Amino acid sequence: MEHIQNEKLSAYCNNQLPEEEQTIIDNHLTECESCFSLYLEAIDNCHIDHSVSESFTDKTMEELELSPLFNQESRPSSKKKNRIMAHYLLAAGLTLIFTFSGLFESVLHLSEQTDAVPKVSVSEQLMNKTTDFLDQIKEDNNK
Ligand SMILES: [Zn+2]
C-alpha cells in the first residue's frame, strides 16, 4: 500500500475522514513506522488547532451534554480524543520500553564486565554507558 499523504493524516487526526478511510489509515499506521511518526507530528498540529478553538469545543460539548439524544449514546468526540490519546500513550510507552531495555542491557552487560575487570570503577563505566546511550538517543532524534 502507498504511504499516506500529509493532508490525509491531518484530516485523519481531525476526524474529517469517512469511517472507511480512517480504518485504512488505522491499519497502515500499525504497520508503517514512517507514516506513524508523521502522524504524531500531525497530532501536534491538531492540538494547536484544538487549543485555538477550545471555547468553541467547550460550547459544543455543553450542547451535546444538554441534548438527551447524545446522553444515551457514547459521545463521538470523546471517543476520538481517546483514540488519539491511545496512540500518544502507545508512542510514549514504546519510547519508555526502548529507553529502559537499553539501560537495563547496559547495566547487565556492565555487571558481567565488572566481574571480569574489577579494577575499573563501576560508576565510571556506568557514566560512559549512560553518555553513549544519551548520544544514541540524540542521534535518533536528529534523524
Ligand atoms: Zn506509510
| Upper half-sphere CA count for residue 56 (Cβ side, 13 Å) | 5
The verdict on residue 109 lying in a domain is yes
Question: Within a domain: residue 60?
Answer: no
In a domain, 128, yes or no: yes
pLDDT at 54: 58
| Structural domain count of the chain | 1
CB distance 74 to 81 below 8 Å: no
Query: Residue 25 has what pLDDT?
Result: 93
- Residue 48: inside a domain, yes or no? no
Q: Give the distance (Å) from ligand 1 centre to CA of residue 97.
A: 23
Distance from residue 40's CA to the centre of ligand 1 (Å): 13
Rounded alpha-carbon distances, angstroms, from residue 28 to 1, 2, 32, 56 = 8, 9, 6, 32
The string of pLDDT tens digits covering residues 102-129 is 776 776 666 665 555 556 677 777 778 7
The reply to whether 143 falls in a domain is yes
How many other C-beta atoms can be found within 10 angstroms of the C-beta atom of residue 42? 21
Instruction: Show the domain range for 90.
Output: 78-143
**pTM listed for this prediction:** 0.36
Distance CA 13, CA 6 (A): 11
**CA 53 to ligand 1 centroid distance, Å:** 30
Give me the percent of the chain exceeding a pLDDT of 90. Answer: 18
Q: What is the pLDDT of residue 60?
A: 65
125 in a structural domain: yes
pLDDT tens digits, 41-73: 888 777 555 445 556 666 666 666 666 555 555
Q: How far is the CA of 44 from the centre of ligand 1 (A)?
A: 18
Ligand 1 centroid, distance to 51 Cα (angstroms): 28
Transcribe 99-120 into DSSP letters. Answer: HHHHHHHHHHHHHHHHHH-TTS
Whole-number Å distance, alpha carbon 35 to ligand 1 midpoint, is 4
Say yes or no to pLDDT of 21 above 90: yes
Tell me if 103 is assigned to some domain.
Answer: yes
